[in-house]
């Protein structure tokens, strides 16, 4: 499916569900990052924020700080992500790293023209 103006669509859906999301990310320079998928000169992004929602009569509050390392040499860009914070006051931590990737030889399994989302939303990726 194609989604245009997906940010607005997703934002409207989250507001309707009572989800409040506040994040602020800023560039933090560049640095060399080595992960199992290779070594990269990466753009570093740091940020913090919160998600506040109510699910099944239970309030969930997530607050965290994240650092991301991104490279244009990798499909979808993400080399490493580290997130630390709390969920309803309990400490949380996650780390994602690129294990491997390829830049040639990939073949799509999509055999038909993608359809547009109802309501005219469409993003061409």
* pLDDT greater than 50 at residue 124: no
In a domain, 3, yes or no: no
In a domain, 57, yes or no: yes
* pLDDT greater than 90 at residue 16: no
Give pLDDT tens digits for 20-63. 888 888 999 999 999 999 999 999 999 999 988 887 788 889 99
In a domain, 112, yes or no: no
In a domain, 9, yes or no: no
CB 66, CB 51: distance < 8 Å: no
In a domain, 119, yes or no: no
What local confidence, expressed as pLDDT, does residue 82 receive?
A: 96
CATH number at residue 52: 2.40.360.20
CB 42, CB 79: distance < 8 Å: yes
Give pLDDT tens digits for 54-89. 877 888 899 999 999 999 888 778 999 999 999 999
Span 96-106, mean pLDDT?
82
CB 77, CB 70: distance < 8 Å: yes
Name, in order, each residue with C-beta under 8 angstroms of 26's C-beta and a sequence gap of 6 or more: 45, 46, 47
What local confidence, expressed as pLDDT, does residue 110 receive?
A: 73
In a domain, 107, yes or no: no
**Which of 5-9, 73-77, 115-119 is the most confident on average?**
73-77
What local confidence, expressed as pLDDT, does residue 10 receive?
A: 61
In a domain, 106, yes or no: no
Q: Which two tokens stand for residue 42?
A: 């990466």
Q: How far is 56 from 39, CA to CA, in rounded Å?
A: 44
What local confidence, expressed as pLDDT, does residue 76 receive?
A: 79
State in Å, rounded, how far the first CA of the chain is from the last one: 10
In a domain, 58, yes or no: yes
Number of domains in the chain: 1
**CA of 55: how far to CAs of 16, 58, 61, 62, 98, in Å?**
13, 5, 11, 13, 32
- Residue 48 belongs to domain spanning: 20-99
* pLDDT greater than 90 at residue 120: no
């Amino acid at each position: 499916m194609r989604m245009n103006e997906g940010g607005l669509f997703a934002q409207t859906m989250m507001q309707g569900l009572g989800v409040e999301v506040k994040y602020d990310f800023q560039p933090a320079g560049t640095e060399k990052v080595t992960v199992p998928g290779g070594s990269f000169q990466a753009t570093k992004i740091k940020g913090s924020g919160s998600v506040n929602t109510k699910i099944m009569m239970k309030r969930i509050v997530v607050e965290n700080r994240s650092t991301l390392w991104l490279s244009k040499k990798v499909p979808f860009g993400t080399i490493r992500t580290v997130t630390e914070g709390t969920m309803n006051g309990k400490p949380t931590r996650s780390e994602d790293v690129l294990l491997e990737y390829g830049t040639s030889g990939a073949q799509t399994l999509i055999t038909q023209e993608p359809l547009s989302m109802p309501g005219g939303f469409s993003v061409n990726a």
